[in-house]
Amino acid sequence: MLVSMKETMAKAKREGYCIPGVAVENEIVVRAAIAAAEEKNSPIILISVPTANPDILYFGRIVGDLALRAKVPVSICQDHGATFEQAMMAIRAGFSDVMVDRSSLPFEENAAQVKEIVKVAHAVGVGVEAELGHVGVASNYAEDAADDTLTRPEEALRYIEETGCDTLAVAVGTAHGAYPKGFEPHIRFDLLKELNEKLPVPLVLHGGSGTGDENLRKAAKLGACKLNISNDLKRAIVNKVGELSNVYRLWPTVFEAYKAETIHYIDVLGSADKA
């Protein structure tokens, strides 16, 4: 069934687990993600950046139809929408949620732009994820995860009240993309716990890939309710496809690799049997 992630994440916040937000770009990985969620009886959130698919209206029909037929709750969230128009197109395409990233703007401007989209989205039952603090890129970790980029609890509380956003992506030390080999990010679990206790909405962690299973288990228990994963899924596909000798096994291999990696994250994050 297709449901807004604000509903499945509210349950995750109450019960203390985290739902994988897996990046999707085409039909085959959407099918793999839903198959993984059904096998584990887990809710799932499909995330998709505006550039992921060249035709969002057509893609929205495919994803929406598959989500409606799923036996578990499936949410479709535009990831890192950068303009008002992108958010509106996602809503028109049938997405259940939009993530509006204005985290590189000053507070007031960020809040004003998000508030405008929240008003439209809520009018048609679509959830909004916003971001305060700034989650940078892993290859530039020292600068992008510096203390001044982290989410500040008091500011975040005011931000949620001003914007009316349903869920909030927070910066607590993770970063987008792949970390340098052997590198493990320093996650501020104390800050995550404090944000979860003080803020009325469920929290999202971006940059889940390469964070380490132990770190993620802990983050799920301390208040992360959605973990965005992209790099690890693609890496799993590339590795399995690289081992192939029979080229006719290409698409089944893509499906199986993506599904297996999604199942791994469902197990780590504790969302199995929470559908």
Catalog residues that contact Zn ion under the rule CB under 5 A. Answer: 206
Query: Whose CB is nearest to Zn ion?
Result: 206
**190 included as an active-site residue:** no
- Least distance CB 176 / Zn ion (angstroms): 5
Rounded to whole angstroms, how far apart are CA atoms 45 and 47? 6
Residue 210 region, left (φ>0) first, then alpha (ψ -120 to 50), else beta? left
Q: Rounded distance, CA 125 to CA 190, Å?
A: 34
Active-site entry in 55, 65, 79, 166: 79
Least spacing, CB of residue 131 vs Zn ion, in Å:
8
Question: What six digits make up the tokens of 183?
Answer: 């590198």
213-222 and 250-269 helices, crossing angle to 10°: 50
CB of 246 to Zn ion, least distance (A): 36
* Amino acid of residue 24: V
User: What is the number of other CB atoms lying within 10 angstroms of the CB of residue 10?
Assistant: 16
Q: What is the CA radius of gyration of the chain?
A: 17
Q: How far is the CB of 80 from Zn ion (least distance, A)?
A: 6
CB 151 within 8 A of CB 174: no
**Taking the complex as a whole, how short is the minimal distance between the CB of residue 228 and Zn ion, in angstroms?**
5
User: Please, where are the H alpha helices in 179-249?
Assistant: 189-198, 213-222, 231-242
SS3 percent helix, strand, coil of the chain, rounded to 5, is 50, 15, 35
Distance CA 31, CA 154 (A): 40
Nearer to Zn ion, 188 or 206 (CB): 206
* In the complex, least distance from residue 118 CB atom to Zn ion, rounded to whole angstroms: 19
Of 170 and 275, nearer to Zn ion (C-beta) is 170
Greatest C-alpha distance within the chain: 56
Indicate the DSSP class of residue 138: G
First-to-last alpha carbon distance for the chain, in angstroms, is 10
Catalytic residue numbers read 79
